[in-house]
Amino acid sequence: MPTSYADSAQAREWDKLFDDWGRSKKTSPDDFHDYEAAALRRTEFQASQAKREIEYRANLKRRIAVAITQMEVICPPKGGAV
């Protein structure tokens, strides 16, 4: 005998509420994921990464300028460009 959709829906609801032995299932906080908190953490991380990238590039520019100055002291450029 075929079952109706309502019977299937009732069975699915029963499966949500009770385990295989008929005991009620307890929900735990681990069953749920806080998507807003994860998105906020990701946004904060991306902002801190962008800030670190800017600082890194400024430091890199300074280090390159120092290296070029040291090279020009050791071996001055030829052709009048000082």
Q: What is the pLDDT of residues 8-55, one digit of tens each?
A: 777 777 677 777 677 777 766 666 778 899 899 999 999 999 999 999
Q: Which two tokens stand for residue 16?
A: 């949500």
| 17 CB-near residues (< 8 Å, 6+ apart) | 24, 25
Kindly indicate the confidence band of residue 3, based on its pLDDT and cuts at 50, 70 and 90.
Answer: low
pTM: 0.49
Contact indicator for 40, 31 with CB cutoff of 8 Å = no
pLDDT of residue 30: 67
**Helix ranges restricted to H, 18-82:** 35-74
Rounded-to-integer distance, Cα 71 and Cα 61, Å: 15
